[in-house]
Amino acid sequence: MNTKVLNRTNNGSNGQSTENVVITGASAGVGRATAHAFAKHGANVGLIARGTEALDAACQEVESLGGSAVAISADVANSEQVENAAAQFEARFGPINIWVNNAMTTVFSPFREITAEEFKRATEVTYLGTVYGTMCALRRMIPRNQGIIVQVGSALAYRSIPLQSPYCGAKHAIRGFTDSVRSELIHDGSKVHITMVQLPALNTPQFSWCRTRLPRHPQPVPPIFQPEVAAEAIVWAAHHRRREVNVGASTDKAIWANKFAPGTLDWYLARNGYDAQQTSEPVDPNRRDNLFEPVPGDPGTHGIFDGAASEHSAQAWGTTHRGWIGIATGLLASAAVAMIVTRRM
């Protein structure tokens, strides 16, 4: 696939210092919601994905929300296309401050039914796409000694589930890769920061366009959150030097449960993990998927599970406001102590 810049851009020249943000997988779901969130802060946003129709629509949305945008059609599984996309963005807006690795694809299927070619492709997009994006960002950020890289992860980076071996394997690999690179940056005394945001089940279009061999339509395992919940956490992570950010109580539970009872979870998921990932509706025999080529049209930001998805996460709010929570807790504790002392006097 040839990399190209779409025509729908604006100049972003408002005389103010703005952030330059690149997001992979920006045409739908979490990537698109994240582009919206950065746009509300007036950022210059580079949108990287394959599907030009969806990219063009996302670009219009960024501009309508107050940001500036350049949409670049590129396949993140191709390192040269990623590098060309970054170069085109910087030629347009200048140095990249924040790079968000979000692009993914997968196959919903028992492992034994996945072909080698399919597994390779899912891994190249989801894992190597993150590697290539990180390489590209560090090539620019390290000489400047500044910048933030956000890896979009998942609870499945810690606790794998059946029927998603390509995705789970890639997210585990991203976590291991990121830990290694982070240690190298610390060793070198670099001010470049790399973080990973671990997400819960989300209502994104992937369940309608990823390849599947399941008899029934794929679905995220409840509880389900809207992609805006993830986007807010990603933007927050890009401005705070946290090593990792977990989003949703379900993510915390999965990570901690796997730490203390992984064998029990193996058996639980073997029994319940198949039905939990499928609706009652059969898969459309004419369903198209985006594993090797983008699906035509514009899927938007949300998937088909709006009715079951929450727009807020108390856990995510607590994670991103824990400093204030600590202060409030300290003040309440001090007030309680003062009341006790006063009563005894």
Cβ 195 vs Cβ 245: under 8 Å = yes
As a whole number of angstroms, the distance between CA 163 and CA 180 comes to 28
As a whole number of angstroms, the distance between CA 266 and CA 245 comes to 25
Say which residues have a Cβ less than 8 Å from residue 155's Cβ, sequence separation at least 6.
198, 199, 200, 246, 248, 250, 251, 254, 255
As a whole number of angstroms, the distance between CA 48 and CA 57 comes to 13
Cβ 127 vs Cβ 22: under 8 Å = no
Angle (CA) 144 146 152, round 5°: 130
Residues paired with residue 101 on neighbouring β-strands, in sequence order: 151
As a whole number of angstroms, the distance between CA 119 and CA 185 comes to 31
Residues in the chain: 345
- The residues carrying an active-site annotation are 167
Cβ 195 vs Cβ 149: under 8 Å = yes
Tokens 């830990």 sit at which residue?
179
DSSP per-residue string spanning 287-318: ----SSSPPSS---S--S-GGGEES--HHHHH
Sheet containing strand 98-101, strands side by side: 4-5, 68-73, 44-49, 20-24, 98-101, 148-152, 193-198, 244-246
